[in-house]
Structure 1
Amino acid sequence: MDPVSSFTATAIDALESAKPILEKSHAAFQFRIYLADDSLWLTSGQGKTGNMAFRLAFSGGSTFALEEQKEEGGELRFRLISSSGEFEVTVLFPVPQDAIFHYTTTFKPALPMLVPFWPKDMLPLGGSGKPQQAGKVHADQVGTRSGVIYLSMTRPKAGSVFYFQNLTALGAYCEATKTAAAGLVGGKWPELGFSLPLTTEEPLPANEKFVISDAFVRLSPDIPASDIEITTGYLNNLAALYPLLPKPEVKYHEWRDIAEKGLEGLANHKGCWMFADGHPYLNAYLSDYKNPPEIMVQLAVLLPLLEFCAWRGEQHSIAAELRDGLPRFYDEELGTVVRWLPALEDNLDKSEEQKQERVMDSWYLYHPLMNLTRLADRGDKEARKLLAKSVDYAIKVARHFNYEWPVFYRMDTFEVIKAETEPGMGGEKDVPGSFAKLMLEVWQFTGEDRFLAEAKKSVKRLKGLGFDLFYQANNTAFSAVALLRLYKQTKDEWYLDMSYVCIASILKNVQLWDCDYGYGKYFPSYFSIFPLRDAPYAAAYEEQEVYSTLHGYLQESADVEILPSVRLLVAELVRYAITRMPFYFPPMLPQEMFSDTVKTGEIDPNLWIPLEDIQDGWNKSGEVGQEVYGACISFGIVPRQYFKSPKGDYTVFIDYPVADVRFGKNNAFSLRALGEERGTCRLIVFFKDKGARKALAMASNGRGKAQPLEPTLAEGSRLEYQIQGDSKFKMSW
């Protein structure tokens, strides 16, 4: 048996001797409420053993007095008094046929109060006065990611628990105590779940009510075994709770203006550029003149910029400048394009492993090559030439490392400079998927089956990794798309299931709560995407790539029966990315939240170039630098979310991924909103001239008959509608 603290031993003894004050059956589970000395408990289970106990309230050591107990309208209410203050607990069972419950606890301190200790709120019980003998935690909170713990009770076998703590509700508590909502949900078996942020200096003020827990729980009798079952279970459980979670308002931002401002700043701000080897190149960070130009930076901006220029119907000179500089990154001796501009490679200061001549970060080799395939697919002969000259080296590296890449290696000798991200954690585990995506794209326009064979070999290295597959968010998203394409090519279900593993790994690394304390009050953070599994901040460029790649995943899977949970959650990720990412741009933020020190370059608060990093509410942002290659955010969003009529007399915006966009005769317009019907999205029609038109709009879900749809806003030259995911929208006037 795992060791327990004295607090857990006392809690088990108190529960063993207590009698339930309320019993309830719901969705084949038995629920009991116990008042046991200093805690109010809810237990859930389907038999005499293997119950999970949830601590609904904790007095801090003094005995509770139950002042009030009510049950009305399906809601259980309890009011308790102790020497520390007054507690109110509500428990709801919001879904009739699903074993989901939601409990909220508020606390009003009787006097200014410090919180030097707080126990976890979940305790697996095995019967006979003992905790559950064994179990497995599949996922828990890392840093400021979602407040999730997903676990199974394995001995005795008693099912699984998916627990979600709504950390948004802790905003007032964290603001008052100057604490953060990081690393609060997890624990060591059997002491699991959520505990309050501890404070020994800033007390909770007396006689003010604070939410101290807001938990959503889903129970299952099943125990997932394989990595696919675990990650699919994560997706399905999260999607089951997601419609119940409080969510921030989704606001419209004028991305067309943001893109134009970003393009102007990119073109005219001298800090964005460096002149080297007879040619202008973009810096990675504003006013970064220490590091040589990088091919990834040039292509990361060029491809979205070309998409944006095609959308606006007007080219821009910097696109040609970026394209014309690409051949200078080719190394004749190695037979491939390289990361740093060879002419300035001697300037690398060797301050980091990758800042050395011919040292490659594994994913950095394949990322530019993927963008070269996109450029070649647009008919660019020089890009195709560079790709053709580099692809065999890319395969040579993959085979040398047997499709398991280290973090850093020497490009000439393949000497490993850094093998693992951390001791025992392996290298860049999602690079097999990035490499496979590159191989599939080369195969698609060459028709050479050797590239398809390489893709199939590579993705087999993802087998069995589960959540550990995630190294970097954009690479994991690339992997999901590669696996989806392999499924569509082969109809082998394993590829589709593995694409779900990738998506679950990304969703485990998002922040499904809004940081409303400290500087967090100035920016939305709901559904933020973290670039690395242990990164302390959300990052602009990786967010944009995850957004655009998973947007494409839904479009490519529009004719495939994928999991409803994937359709719902990916569409919602896209929606919140669109409403949140404007707040990477300094003009959207108060200067007081900018970091006092900048690692690379400098920050211009008036420039529409994003900060790389948005930190937790108590930390200043922009510490890494102002990310020039992050300018691609707006260039990537506009063509995916705005659709102009052929005559240019109106434009349609939608904040979900879409398919089947059509402009017909006599002002007819139609599209299919992707996602899932449990989600909703905003659709806006902007007319070029003044005055909103009287329009006939129709919408239908699934195979249902189209129904008339009234606008939620008709103002000036704008009509706005709310439609469900997985629906068809038609409009004429």
Structure 2
Amino acid sequence: MQAESVIPYSLDITFYKLKMIKMHTVTPWSATAQADIENSEILWEKKILSYTYQFYNTGDSLWIVVVMPDNGKIAFRAAFAMNSCFEVTNLFEDQDTIIVVLNSRLGTYEVRVDFTSAEVPVLHYTTSFTANVPLLMPFWPRDIIPLTQSGNIANTAGTIHMEQFGSRSGLLFASITKPQTGSFFYFQNLTSLSEYCEATETESKNTVGGSWPEIGFQLPTTDKLPLPAGKAFTISNAYVVLHNEIFEQTTIICEHFLNNLVTIYKLLEQPRIEYHNWPEIAQKVVSDLKNNKGSWTQKQGLPYLNAYLCDYETPPESMVQLAVLAPFKEYEKWSGEKQPICEDLTKGLPAFYDEKINCINRWLPSMVDKLDESEEQKTEMVMDSWYLHHPLMNLARLALRGDKTAEKLVLDSIEYAIRTAHHFNYEWPVFYNMETLEVIKKETAPGAGGERDVPGAYAHLMLLLFKLTKEKRYLHEAEKAAKKLEGLGLNILYQANNTAFAAGALLELFKITNKKLYLDLSYTCLTGLFKNIQLYDCRYGFGKNYTNFFSIFPLNDAPYIAAYEEMEVYAALSEYIVQAEDVEILPALRTLIPEFIKYAVGRIAYYYPAMLPLDMISEKVKTGEVQADLWIPLEDLYNGWEKSGQVGQEVYGAGMAFGVVPRQYIKIGDEFLLFVDYPIIHQSKRGNTVSIKLDGNKDLNCNLKIIKIKNSSIKMKVLQDKQTQKPFTANANIHEYKISGQGTVKIQW
């Protein structure tokens, strides 16, 4: 009897342990949450569409429970009383808004809940807190937990498709797979948290995420300054889009992510657009490049741009010369004036051709003896994979505009690039030896793979060569590389500008081949970009000194935004929306891309240190030096409490103004300029009429300005889709209009 009783008991313990291993661990602030909710009375209940919303006061938390159409449940903690208990002092309903006022021993809370009338169900709750005494808050629980029909939340399962990293948007997109509840897209508007962060000297980065099943937003904990008493601070401003389905396929996840982001974007209070005189900035950049010796190095009588201001130790790089030359040539054409610097830079390009490999090299071959090997890539013949293709892209662009020096260099180099692609089977490592093709560094991190989006950049290069030569082998190369992006899923982005080029190349391949795979992969690239943005305005610390809404980070894990990469994303996405004119792309992209362009044009001027207060510029610089009065951009801008310019002042970002002016300004003789901050799809001039086509969201606005250059008075008529537009501001020098983001605009005089 004893033996018979021991065996089942032992098996039972083993089974119990196995069950415990599969279950998630939880903290005390969630362990009893489901039981607390089930044992509490419903404060308020309402059904909207097929979703039921229930409010519960469980003592230390106010919960909003969403009952899904199939009876699955998700709970959102709208308020947390810390070590106190809530007393509901008021609850009232005004149409689609519910306001709950809560008192605790520590302070007063007001929770405002809105149910928007969007096409998909959106829950929006905002919580403010007024402390009775100054408070340090060392802990705060996350605000989302999945609920079960019966049992323990630790026995749930789900997939987090994406979440906030660093200072990016405070979003979380997840599917609840056990029980089969559905999916939700959560967005915390971190702009609203700025006053709290300023008062407590905290930051809003890494606030949305968590470990299953405790996920969502976690209020930054205070360890420096207490939250002041007697003032209401917004401590949460959350939007939730709900879905019945569970998403698994990358294409479906990407489509819903982009759609959800637009749904939330339209509900956000967006910051004011700032205008900067980019033609004037471009002239300042030209002057500083001409006159400041810190930008240049001489070799054999030829001038070369330094990568960073006053960095004379590092040899010149081909990427740096071409990163400035390519947009500078665009500006030269726009201005109608020859730019001597363009001629100087062009003369120096052939010296980068390295006969050892029959290709242009990253470093000027005659100066490789100056490489100090302080970094892996600062070694002779060591190539960072994307650095091979980037200069070749710009050479191809220049060649397409008729530059014979660039055409010879790119055609002489392209066979090496193709041979390298074949050697690596279109999957590039991080670093390799250019002569032997030996891999020096295979992966960005263990298990993360190499530079994942380089196949897309290579495809873009091949399509440029296809346009230049009409040889179909380049088209075939582009397709072979593009197919390597399949299967990377949401981890496709390595470096934002290369991912943007990849998106454009994939769109072109779709237009040429009509293969939907390429359009889907293009959306995956764009998802990688838009999940890497900062869709809020940081108004605390040094971040309050400049507009940072809709910034994009250069890498998945970069702690700062970067001038050159942002400029290239801006240029690539401007071209994307032009190329998409005759393609039925996702409607969400006709909102996100033009809006990104609009904010980029108003925002990236703050990379110039002359636009910033001196106290937010770092005294310590990694490379070269910073001259704050110089119109050369800082590489790195931080928001929050970190100073900017820690990396240096990047000369290779000097083409920023040269890229903006030709894309956003139209010259009308020598008398006037037209400025539009949306991508211009087409422009034409007939007689005394300029026509501009826009292809964004018709329900959103962009800015049109008529700017006087000389002494003529502004006597112009603006029509959009045949409707006369009135300026919202008009004086002798400028007339400003708000126009729809979609339609044809005519300016007549």
In the alignment, the residues of structure 1 paired with residue 514 and residue 496 of structure 2 have an alpha-carbon distance, to the nearest angstrom, of 26
C-alpha displacement of 1:277: 3.4
In the alignment, the residues of structure 2 paired with residue 201 and residue 686 of structure 1 have an alpha-carbon distance, to the nearest angstrom, of 49
Correspondent of 1:237 among 251, 256, 260? 260
Q: Which residue does the alignment assign to 1:16?
A: 38
285-294 vs 121-130, greater mean Cα deviation? 121-130
1:327 maps to 2:350: yes
Q: Which residue does the alignment assign to 1:713?
A: 729
514-523 vs 723-732, greater mean Cα deviation? 723-732
C-alpha displacement of 1:125: 0.9
Q: Which residue does the alignment assign to 2:68?
A: 46
Q: Which residue does the alignment assign to 1:543?
A: 566
- For the residue of structure 2 that corresponds to 1:482, the secondary structure is helix
Asked if structure 2 preserves the Cα contact closer than 8 Å seen for 1:284 and 1:294, the reply is: yes
Asked if structure 2 preserves the Cα contact closer than 8 Å seen for 1:49 and 1:126, the reply is: no
Q: What is the identity, as a one-letter code, of the residue corresponding to 1:673? A: L
User: C-alpha deviations, 1:157-191, integer Å up to 9, x for none?
Assistant: 22110011000111111111111111000011110
1:175 maps to 2:198: yes
- For the residue of structure 2 that corresponds to 1:161, the secondary structure is strand
In the alignment, the residues of structure 1 paired with residue 483 and residue 69 of structure 2 have an alpha-carbon distance, to the nearest angstrom, of 41
Structure 1 13/638 Cα, relative in aligned 2: closer, same or farther at 3 Å? Answer: same
C-alpha displacement of 1:717: 2.8
1:93 maps to 2:109: no
User: C-alpha deviations, 1:525-571, integer Å up to 9, x for none?
Assistant: 11111001000000000000000010000011111111110110011
C-alpha displacement of 1:693: 3.5
Structure 1 96/519 Cα, relative in aligned 2: closer, same or farther at 3 Å? Answer: closer
Q: Which residue does the alignment assign to 1:601?
A: 624
Q: What is the identity, as a one-letter code, of the residue corresponding to 1:614? A: L
Correspondent of 2:130 among 108, 112, 115? 108
Correspondent of 2:79 among 57, 61, 78? 57
Asked if structure 2 preserves the Cα contact closer than 8 Å seen for 1:4 and 1:190, the reply is: yes
Aligned length: 726
Describe how 1:146-165 pairs up with structure 2 within 5 A. Answer: 146-165=169-188
402-411 vs 200-209, greater mean Cα deviation? 200-209
User: C-alpha deviations, 1:612-663, integer Å up to 9, x for none?
Assistant: 0001220010000001011111000000000012x33322100000122111
Asked if structure 1 preserves the Cα contact closer than 8 Å seen for 2:62 and 2:80, the reply is: yes
Asked if structure 2 preserves the Cα contact closer than 8 Å seen for 1:691 and 1:717, the reply is: no
Q: Which residue does the alignment assign to 1:722?
A: 738
Asked if structure 1 preserves the Cα contact closer than 8 Å seen for 2:259 and 2:588, the reply is: yes
Q: Which residue does the alignment assign to 1:72?
A: 94
Describe how 1:520-559 pairs up with structure 2 within 5 A. Answer: 520-559=543-582
C-alpha displacement of 1:720: 1.2
Correspondent of 1:121 among 133, 139, 143? 143
1:377 maps to 2:394: no
Q: What is the identity, as a one-letter code, of the residue corresponding to 1:655? A: D
Question: Can you give the 5+ residue segments of structure 1 that lack an aligned partner in the other structure?
Answer: 701-705
User: C-alpha deviations, 1:483-505, integer Å up to 9, x for none?
Assistant: 00000101111111111111110
Cα RMSD for the two superposed structures: 1.2
450-459 vs 676-685, greater mean Cα deviation? 676-685
Q: Which residue does the alignment assign to 2:422?
A: 399
User: C-alpha deviations, 1:140-166, integer Å up to 9, x for none?
Assistant: 000000000000111222211001100
User: C-alpha deviations, 1:659-705, integer Å up to 9, x for none?
Assistant: 2211122x2121112211232100011234457534332213xxxxx
Q: Which residue does the alignment assign to 1:684?
A: 705
C-alpha displacement of 1:711: 1.2
User: C-alpha deviations, 1:434-472, integer Å up to 9, x for none?
Assistant: 000001110112111111111101011111212200000
User: C-alpha deviations, 1:105-135, integer Å up to 9, x for none?
Assistant: 0000111101100000001112214226211
Asked if structure 1 preserves the Cα contact closer than 8 Å seen for 2:670 and 2:710, the reply is: no
Correspondent of 2:695 among 674, 699, 709? 674
In the alignment, the residues of structure 2 paired with residue 62 and residue 307 of structure 1 have an alpha-carbon distance, to the nearest angstrom, of 64
Q: Given the two structures, how large is their TM-score scaled by the length of structure 1?
A: 0.98
C-alpha displacement of 1:233: 1.2
Q: What is the identity, as a one-letter code, of the residue corresponding to 1:687? A: K
In the alignment, the residues of structure 1 paired with residue 196 and residue 589 of structure 2 have an alpha-carbon distance, to the nearest angstrom, of 33
Q: What is the identity, as a one-letter code, of the residue corresponding to 1:621? A: S
Describe how 1:85-484 pairs up with structure 2 within 5 A. Answer: 85-131=107-153, 133-484=156-507
- For the residue of structure 1 that corresponds to 2:35, the secondary structure is helix
C-alpha displacement of 1:731: 2.5
Structure 1 355/689 Cα, relative in aligned 2: closer, same or farther at 3 Å? Answer: closer
Q: Which residue does the alignment assign to 2:14?
A: none
Asked if structure 2 preserves the Cα contact closer than 8 Å seen for 1:227 and 1:465, the reply is: no
C-alpha displacement of 1:96: 5.0
- For the residue of structure 1 that corresponds to 2:528, the secondary structure is helix
- For the residue of structure 2 that corresponds to 1:653, the secondary structure is strand
Asked if structure 2 preserves the Cα contact closer than 8 Å seen for 1:692 and 1:714, the reply is: no
Q: Which residue does the alignment assign to 2:667?
A: 644
Q: What is the identity, as a one-letter code, of the residue corresponding to 1:124? A: P
Q: Which residue does the alignment assign to 1:659?
A: 681
- For the residue of structure 2 that corresponds to 1:203, the secondary structure is coil
Q: Which residue does the alignment assign to 2:25?
A: 3
Structure number with greater Rg is 2
Correspondent of 1:699 among 712, 720, 732? 720
In the alignment, the residues of structure 1 paired with residue 397 and residue 268 of structure 2 have an alpha-carbon distance, to the nearest angstrom, of 38
User: C-alpha deviations, 1:257-296, integer Å up to 9, x for none?
Assistant: 1110011101110000001233110000000011000000
C-alpha displacement of 1:48: 6.2
Q: What is the identity, as a one-letter code, of the residue corresponding to 2:530? A: L
Asked if structure 2 preserves the Cα contact closer than 8 Å seen for 1:691 and 1:715, the reply is: no
Q: Which residue does the alignment assign to 1:509?
A: 532
C-alpha displacement of 1:363: 0.1
322-331 vs 40-49, greater mean Cα deviation? 40-49
In the alignment, the residues of structure 1 paired with residue 713 and residue 492 of structure 2 have an alpha-carbon distance, to the nearest angstrom, of 49
- For the residue of structure 1 that corresponds to 2:171, the secondary structure is strand
- For the residue of structure 2 that corresponds to 1:32, the secondary structure is strand
Q: Which residue does the alignment assign to 2:3?
A: none
1:28 maps to 2:50: yes
C-alpha displacement of 1:576: 0.6
Q: What is the identity, as a one-letter code, of the residue corresponding to 1:683? A: L
Q: What is the identity, as a one-letter code, of the residue corresponding to 1:588? A: M
C-alpha displacement of 1:345: 0.6
In the alignment, the residues of structure 2 paired with residue 522 and residue 300 of structure 1 have an alpha-carbon distance, to the nearest angstrom, of 28
C-alpha displacement of 1:713: 1.4
Structure 1 399/716 Cα, relative in aligned 2: closer, same or farther at 3 Å? Answer: same
In the alignment, the residues of structure 2 paired with residue 723 and residue 25 of structure 1 have an alpha-carbon distance, to the nearest angstrom, of 38
In the alignment, the residues of structure 1 paired with residue 712 and residue 320 of structure 2 have an alpha-carbon distance, to the nearest angstrom, of 43
In the alignment, the residues of structure 1 paired with residue 227 and residue 463 of structure 2 have an alpha-carbon distance, to the nearest angstrom, of 57
- For the residue of structure 2 that corresponds to 1:200, the secondary structure is coil
Q: What is the identity, as a one-letter code, of the residue corresponding to 2:497? A: N
Q: Which residue does the alignment assign to 1:703?
A: none
C-alpha displacement of 1:322: 0.3
In the alignment, the residues of structure 2 paired with residue 90 and residue 409 of structure 1 have an alpha-carbon distance, to the nearest angstrom, of 56
In the alignment, the residues of structure 1 paired with residue 48 and residue 264 of structure 2 have an alpha-carbon distance, to the nearest angstrom, of 16
